[in-house]
């Protein structure tokens, strides 16, 4: 779903420029081995990476049915001083416990939550509209206040009716945040966390963040954290992302 043709051509030219004459000779003589090795790398990449950015032009060319959503999301991006991708290709099967530690740096590789009681819902094939910034002024609210404010933002930003209607599963949030970090080196969250739709069986809501962790203090330098939050408590660190999720299986009639 990425803009692969242009990206591949540019990357290949840059890679070839960096090879010595001897390396180029081996490349051409041993192309079979090179192809086999590249195939192995593709398998490994698919095992780790489930979320990739999509350019606006790629969306218009490959998914014109969603191109009309771009203006609203670009408006939000400008408001939040962000100029990068606002659409992300998400492949089905990504989970928090298994896949997130493979996709990027996670606090203690998420070993501490492997026995937490919650449904680790895998992602579905989808296009996700997402700006890697918390919704403006969305922190220090209880859950019901967040829901009301999220709806108000949907209306004021002229989002589609099926956008900004959820916070996203914890697995999806981790996939998106780690994809942005992999692309730019920047964490979408620095001292804040984002509420998810995923609940533990004890009634606490899972959050994704970098700024705080009840298990042992700050975890800013050890990767993305998963923590918990009580819906009825206001915390200055806890806010939410705006998401627009378009399931591709439904769109393709599968």
Residues 177 and 189 in one domain: yes
Q: Which residues contact 66 (CB under 8 A, 6 or more apart)?
A: 59, 87, 127, 246
Residues 56 and 94 in one domain: yes
Structural domain of 10: 1-48
In this prediction the pTM is: 0.82
Question: What pLDDT, on a 0 to 100 scale, did the predictor assign at position 39?
Answer: 57
Residues 205 and 168 in one domain: yes
Residues 24 and 144 in one domain: no
Residues 169 and 57 in one domain: yes
pLDDT in tens, the chain (254 residues): 444 444 566 667 777 777 888 887 787 888 787 676 555 444 555 556 899 999 999 999 999 999 999 999 999 999 999 999 999 999 999 999 999 999 999 999 999 999 999 999 999 999 999 999 999 999 999 999 999 999 999 999 999 999 999 999 999 999 999 999 999 999 988 778 999 999 999 999 999 998 544 444 545 557 899 999 999 999 999 999 999 999 997 544 44
Sheet holding 205-209, edge to edge: 225-229, 205-209, 193-199, 238-239
Question: What pLDDT, on a 0 to 100 scale, did the predictor assign at position 253?
Answer: 45
> What is the total count of domains within the chain?
2
Residues 170 and 122 in one domain: yes
Residues 29 and 152 in one domain: no
Residues 97 and 211 in one domain: yes
């Amino acid at each position: 779903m990425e803009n692969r043709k242009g990206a591949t051509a540019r990357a290949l030219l840059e890679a070839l420029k960096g090879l010595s004459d001897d390396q180029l000779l081996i490349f051409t003589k041993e192309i079979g081995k090179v192809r086999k090795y590249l195939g192995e790398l593709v398998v490994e990449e698919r095992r780790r990476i489930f979320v990739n950015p999509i350019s606006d032009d790629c969306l218009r060319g490959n998914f014109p049915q969603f191109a009309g959503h771009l203006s609203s999301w670009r408006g939000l991006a400008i408001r939040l001083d962000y100029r990068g991708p606002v659409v992300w290709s998400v492949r089905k099967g990504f989970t928090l416990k298994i896949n997130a530690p493979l996709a990027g740096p996670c606090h203690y590789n998420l070993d501490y939550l492997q026995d937490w009681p919650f449904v680790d819902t895998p992602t579905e094939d989808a296009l996700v509209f997402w700006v890697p910034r918390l919704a403006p002024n969305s922190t220090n609210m209880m859950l019901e206040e967040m829901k009301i404010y999220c709806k108000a933002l949907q209306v004021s930003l002229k989002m589609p009716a099926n956008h900004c209607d959820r916070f996203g599963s914890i697995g999806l949030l981790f996939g998106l945040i780690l994809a942005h970090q992999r692309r730019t080196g920047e964490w979408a969250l620095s001292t804040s966390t984002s509420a998810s739709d995923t609940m533990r069986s004890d009634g606490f809501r899972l959050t994704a963040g970098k700024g705080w962790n009840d298990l042992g203090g700050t975890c800013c330098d050890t990767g993305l954290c998963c923590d918990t939050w009580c819906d009825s408590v206001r915390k200055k660190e806890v806010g939410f992302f705006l998401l627009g999720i378009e399931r591709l299986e439904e769109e393709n009639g599968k």
